[in-house]
């Protein structure tokens, strides 16, 4: 099972999390595994004081200096992993 979330940051300092889960049918050898930096434990994956989620997106400072603090999305090109 994979859990993903949409994070809404349109209300200042009140991030809204919309979690979803997906059951996947994985085929292939089953030997590939994402690096630890992509794995998170819930609850606890987010720091409530993280400045990347407690922001005002309508300020010029945010538009010019926003730093995402979450790991990058893992992308695989192998058809066996799609």
Q: What is the pLDDT of residues 7-66, one digit of tens each?
A: 888 888 888 888 888 887 878 887 877 788 777 777 777 787 887 788 888 888 777 777
pTM of the full structure: 0.54
Residue 40 CB burial class (10 angstroms; 0-12, 13-18, ≥19): middle
Q: Which of 6, 14, 18, 21 is nearest to 48 (CA)?
A: 14
Q: Which of 82, 79, 80 is nearest to 28 (CA)?
A: 80
- Rounded-to-integer distance, Cα 61 and Cα 45, Å: 26
Q: CA dist 10 to 21, 33, 40, 55, Å?
A: 23, 34, 24, 9
Domain 1-82, architecture per CATH: Distorted Sandwich (2.70)
Predicted confidence band of residue 74 (pLDDT cuts 50, 70, 90): low
């Amino acid at each position: 099972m994979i859990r993903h979330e949409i994070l809404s940051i349109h209300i200042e300092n009140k991030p809204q999390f919309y979690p979803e889960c997906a059951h996947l049918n994985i085929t292939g050898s089953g030997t590939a595994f994402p690096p630890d930096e992509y794995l998170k434990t819930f609850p606890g994956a987010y720091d409530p004081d993280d400045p990347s989620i407690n922001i005002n997106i309508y300020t010029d400072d945010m538009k010019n200096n926003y730093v995402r603090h979450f790991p990058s999305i893992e992308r695989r090109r192998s058809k066996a992993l799609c």
